[in-house]
């Protein structure tokens, strides 16, 4: 590795950086601490991070995590170089390993949209392609109108847009009140072999923040980029007015009410459904234009069938026969779906679904499903099916649970015979949209 190219720009000397790195190694905690302390010239121990100490811990899953205090930019770069060199020789990094970078900020009123426009997300994804659909590195280039009706004269003004929750995004702004923002793009298989890419991304992270607070106005280049990015919001926003416009914008989407495709019926329901439809189509990307969506009036729930979803952030939806990639779901039900690289929180998996490289939190998976290289977390999680690989962190195992030898099991309880429960909630499958 040629470290001569890893130059330091003096303009970042006032920035403070914290590093949190995950990796595997067959060496003992004590030996790793000694070797990293010697190599980095920073004390590395099991003690909490402090001015003179970086903390290293070994999780129950076997993964090592090292967390530094907030170092000056120069010192954090030197530590990253030492750490990555050591991991290259003595450890490894896998698909679910990350290197988080926290930037200390004093200004709680960061202009997030301006920051996003200055940060070059496409080139960052090129550097770490495995994290393009990572569970904690979703795209930040998503803007939501603050209101459904925006005058044409103000349509391209960034002040009229917000960004959604960024806890699972490549840049996480949710810790601003604690005085830092977090970079979450870096990670994936063999990220330890990308030292120049890591350092370049950290530099651009700091640079984007400095530009966002030092430039009062959007230049034309950034405004043009913003106009391009908000094009994705145009159809949901325009369609809010009436069903005729919605139907025109989504001509290949089949919308039904109680499985009835009747224009007069849908027009009568539309004023009560348009807020929900706006949310759904503002937060979903799917292949082609084909989609079937039904509103079940008896359950007051939307159901999506036979869709190939590339990206989504949705809640309280039933999915049937869908191919799903790169999604975030809350309180959703799945029937006969293939789900990949997604996070499911308080969801139910019914009837022959396959879930790969995903995360289940406080969710239920019945006996006909299959979990592959998927992690399970949350005390209310219930797994009653085959699980291959992955980490079972905490939850309940049902009578028909079948865990592979390479599944890491940390803590579990047995599900009582005769009950299908998650915590205190009895799970009753809703009727299937089929």
Please give the pLDDT value at position 289. 62
Please give the pLDDT value at position 362. 96
Which of 191, 224, 257 is the last residue before a domain boundary?
224
Q: Is 198 helix (H, G, I), strand (E, B) or coil?
A: helix
Q: Is residue 17 part of a domain?
A: yes
Q: Is residue 234 part of a domain?
A: no
Reading the block at residue 181, the tokens are 């923002």
For residues 172 and 45, state if they share a domain.
Answer: yes
DSSP for 361-409, please give it: ES-EE-TT-EEES-EEESTT-EE-SEEESSEE-S-EE-TT-EE-TT-EE
Q: Is residue 431 part of a domain?
A: no
Widest Cα–Cα separation across the chain: 75
Angle, helices 73-90 vs 29-40, to 10°: value is 130
Name the percent of the chain lying above pLDDT 70.
92
Q: Is 96 helix (H, G, I), strand (E, B) or coil?
A: coil
Round to whole Å and give the CA distance between 107 and 418.
55
CA dihedral over 385, 338, 187, 166, signed as positive or negative? negative
Q: Is the pLDDT of residue 215 over 80?
A: no
Range of the domain at 419: 240-426
For residues 217 and 262, state if they share a domain.
Answer: no
For residues 148 and 296, state if they share a domain.
Answer: no
Which of 224, 257, 276 is the last residue before a domain boundary?
224
Q: Is residue 432 part of a domain?
A: no
Please give the pLDDT value at position 3. 42
For residues 111 and 149, state if they share a domain.
Answer: yes
Q: Tens digit of pLDDT for each residue in 304-338?
A: 999 999 999 999 999 999 999 999 999 999 999 99
Q: Tens digit of pLDDT for each residue in 244-257?
A: 999 999 998 999 99
Q: Is the pLDDT of residue 344 over 80?
A: yes
Please give the pLDDT value at position 414. 85
For residues 258 and 202, state if they share a domain.
Answer: no
Please give the pLDDT value at position 2. 42
Report whether 319 contacts 344 (CB < 8 A).
no
Mean pLDDT across the stretch 282-297?
Answer: 88
For residues 244 and 220, state if they share a domain.
Answer: no
For residues 289 and 406, state if they share a domain.
Answer: yes
For residues 420 and 356, state if they share a domain.
Answer: yes
Burial 8-32 (b: 16+ CB within 10 A, else e): eeeebeebbbbbbbbbebeeeeeeb
For residues 219 and 260, state if they share a domain.
Answer: no
Q: Is 109 helix (H, G, I), strand (E, B) or coil?
A: coil
For residues 207 and 246, state if they share a domain.
Answer: no
Mean pLDDT across the stretch 102-107?
Answer: 88
Mean pLDDT across the stretch 7-33?
Answer: 85
For residues 331 and 200, state if they share a domain.
Answer: no
Number of domains in the chain: 2
For residues 205 and 316, state if they share a domain.
Answer: no
| pLDDT confidence bin for 12, thresholds 50/70/90 | low
């Amino acid at each position: 590795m040629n470290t001569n190219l890893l130059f330091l720009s003096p303009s970042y000397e006032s920035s403070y950086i914290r590093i949190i790195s995950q990796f595997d190694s067959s060496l003992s905690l004590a030996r790793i601490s000694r070797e990293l302390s010697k190599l980095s010239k920073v004390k590395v121990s099991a003690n909490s991070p402090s001015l003179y100490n970086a903390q290293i811990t070994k999780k129950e899953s076997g993964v090592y995590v090292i967390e530094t205090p907030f170092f000056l930019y120069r010192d954090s770069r030197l530590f990253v170089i030492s750490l990555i060199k050591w991991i290259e020789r003595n450890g490894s990094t896998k698909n679910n390993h990350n290197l988080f970078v926290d930037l200390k900020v004093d200004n709680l009123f960061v202009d997030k949209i301006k920051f996003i426009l200055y940060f070059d997300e496409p080139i960052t994804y090129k550097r770490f392609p495995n994290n393009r659909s990572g569970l904690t590195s979703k795209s930040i280039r998503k803007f939501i109108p603050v209101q459904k009706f925006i005058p044409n004269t103000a349509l391209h003004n960034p002040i009229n847009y917000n960004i959604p929750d960024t806890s699972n995004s490549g840049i996480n702004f949710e810790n601003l009140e604690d005085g830092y923002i977090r970079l979450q793009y870096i990670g994936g298989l063999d990220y330890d072999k990308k030292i120049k890419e890591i350092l370049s991304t950290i530099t651009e992270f700091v640079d984007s923040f400095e530009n966002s607070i030092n430039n009062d106005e959007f230049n034309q280049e950034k405004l043009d980029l913003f106009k391009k990015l908000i094009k994705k919001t145009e159809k949901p926003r325009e369609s809010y007015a009436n069903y005729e416009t919605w139907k025109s914008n989504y001509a290949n989407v089949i919308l039904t009410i109680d499985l009835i495709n009747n224009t007069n019926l849908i027009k009568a329901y539309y004023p009560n459904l348009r807020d929900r439809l706006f949310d759904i189509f503002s937060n979903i990307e799917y292949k082609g234009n084909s989609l079937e969506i039904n509103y079940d009036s008896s359950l007051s729930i939307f159901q999506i069938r036979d869709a190939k979803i590339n990206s989504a952030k949705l809640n309280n939806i039933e999915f049937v026969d869908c191919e799903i990639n790169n999604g975030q779901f809350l309180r959703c039900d799945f029937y006969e779906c293939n789900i990949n690289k997604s996070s499911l929180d308080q969801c139910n998996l019914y009837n022959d679904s396959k879930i790969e490289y995903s995360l289940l939190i406080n969710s239920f998976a019945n006996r006909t499903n299959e979990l592959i290289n998927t992690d399970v977390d949350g005390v209310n999680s219930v797994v009653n099916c085959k699980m291959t690989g992955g980490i079972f962190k905490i939850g309940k195992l049902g009578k028909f649970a079948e865990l592979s030898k390479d599944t890491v099991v940390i803590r579990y309880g047995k599900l009582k015979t005769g009950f299908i429960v998650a915590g205190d909630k009895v799970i009753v499958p809703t009727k299937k949209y089929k």
